[in-house]
Amino acid sequence: MLSYQHAYHAGGPADLHKHIALAELLTLLTRKKRPITYMETHAGRGLYDLSAPESSKTGEAAEGIGQITLPECPFTAALQSIRAKHGETAYPGSPAIAQALLRPDDKIHLMELHPAEFRALKHNIKNAATHNRDGYEGILALAPPKPRKGLVLVDPSYEVKSEYLQVAAFTRKLMAKWPEATVLVWYPVLKAGRHTEMLDALKLPFLKDEVSFDLKDNKGMTGSGLALVNAPYGSEAVFTRTRELGAPVLR
C-alpha cells in the first residue's frame, strides 16, 4: 500500500526523535577514518518544504521543529546546510541528513518504492545510489555491501499491521547476511501497543529509546520509538543527547 506521504509529517515530533538520533549516530559511526555504508529501506523524498499545504494541514511541523531552538549539534548542522541551499522553510529528510553528515568515501543506498517520491528523491539527493524498489528486498539483495561497516535505517509507515512483523523478520535476515551492520528501526508508539509484538519477534539484543509527545491529531500515536540492533559503543549517549536536544517536545 503506497498511500502514505511523509510530507504531512515532516518535521513533526516523531521526525525530530528519529532525525536527531540519526544525526548523532552517524557522527558516532564516522569518528574513525574507515568509510561506512549507509542504507535506507524507506527513504521518502529526502527534502521537504514546511510551508507546503501538506505540512500546514496536519500542523505537525509546528508541533515539532517549530517548538524548539536547537543548539549546535549534528542535526543542526544538517538542517543549516539544507536551509542555506533551499531556504528557511526547508526540512531535511533522513537521506539529506546522511548526505550532509557523511564523507566523500562513505556509500549511501536509498530505497523508495513510490514512483513520485522516488523521482523527487533522485532529484533532491545527489551523490547517492537511489533505487526504485521494495526496501526490504533491495537491502537484502545488496547485503553485505562494501564497506562492511555501516548503518541501515528502517523507517516504514506501518500502514498495515503486518508490517511490524515484517520489520522483525527483515532485521533478522539482514543480520544473518551482514553481521557487522547496525540497524536503526523507527516505530510509532500507539495506544494499541503493536510495536511490542515487533520487539519480541526481533529475538536479537537491541537498545531501545521511546519518547512521548502530544499531537493535536494523534490518531492513537502517543510517542515514537527507536530500536538499535548491534548498537556501537557510545549509543546510550546518542539517545541521552537526543532527549536533551529534543526537550520539551520529546519527553
Ligand X SMILES: C[S@@+](CC[C@H](N)C(=O)[O-])C[C@H]1O[C@@H](n2cnc3c(N)ncnc32)[C@H](O)[C@@H]1O
Residues involved in catalysis: 155
Handedness of CA 19, 2, 115, 129 (dihedral sign): positive
Strand partners, 182: 151
Nearest residue to ligand X, by Cβ distance, number only: 93
Span interacting with ligand X, options 155-163, 192-200, 204-212, 239-247, rule CB under 6 A = 155-163
Task: Decide whether 105 or 141 has the Cβ nearer to ligand X.
Answer: 141
Among 90, 113, 198, 250, binds ligand X (CB under 6 A): 113
Span interacting with ligand X, options 106-114, 168-176, 188-196, 226-234, rule CB under 6 A = 106-114
Q: Does 12 bind ligand X (CB under 6 A)?
A: no
Instruction: Compute how many residues bind ligand X; rule: CB under 6 A.
Output: 21
What's the N-to-C CA distance of the chain in angstroms?
A: 32
Task: Decide whether 156 or 246 has the Cβ nearer to ligand X.
Answer: 156
Task: Decide whether 63 or 155 has the Cβ nearer to ligand X.
Answer: 155
Q: Does 155 bind ligand X (CB under 6 A)?
A: yes
Residues 6+ apart with CB under 8 A from 110: 39, 40, 43, 46, 95, 121, 125, 128, 129, 130, 131
Q: Does 111 bind ligand X (CB under 6 A)?
A: yes
| Number of CB atoms found within 10 A of residue 113's CB | 18
Q: Does 128 bind ligand X (CB under 6 A)?
A: no
Span interacting with ligand X, options 34-42, 74-82, 139-147, 237-245, rule CB under 6 A = 34-42
DSSP string of 159-224?
-STTHHHHHHHHHHHHHHH-TTEEEEEEEEEETT-THHHHHHHH-S-EEEEEEE---TT-TTEEEE
Q: Does 94 bind ligand X (CB under 6 A)?
A: yes
Which segments of 41-103 are extended strands (E)?
47-49, 90-92
What's the CA gap between 110 and 33, in Å, rounded?
23
Q: Does 157 bind ligand X (CB under 6 A)?
A: yes
Are β-strands 221-229 and 181-190 bridged in parallel, bridged antiparallel, or unpaired?
A: antiparallel
Pull the grid cell for residue 169.
523478520
Distances 129 to 7, 38, 47, 190 between C-alpha atoms, Å: 22, 10, 16, 33
User: What's the angle, vertex CA 145, arms to CA 112 and CA 235, rounded to 5?
Assistant: 85
Please name the residue that has the C-alpha cell 523527487: 120
We find the least distance from the C-beta atom of residue 86 to ligand X, in angstroms, to be 15
Q: Does 42 bind ligand X (CB under 6 A)?
A: yes
Among 114, 149, 195, 241, binds ligand X (CB under 6 A): 114
Q: Does 2 bind ligand X (CB under 6 A)?
A: yes
Q: Does 43 bind ligand X (CB under 6 A)?
A: yes
We find the least distance from the C-beta atom of residue 165 to ligand X, in angstroms, to be 14
Q: Does 30 bind ligand X (CB under 6 A)?
A: no
Positions touching ligand X (CB under 6 A) are 2, 4, 6, 18, 40-44, 93-94, 111-114, 117, 134-135, 155-157
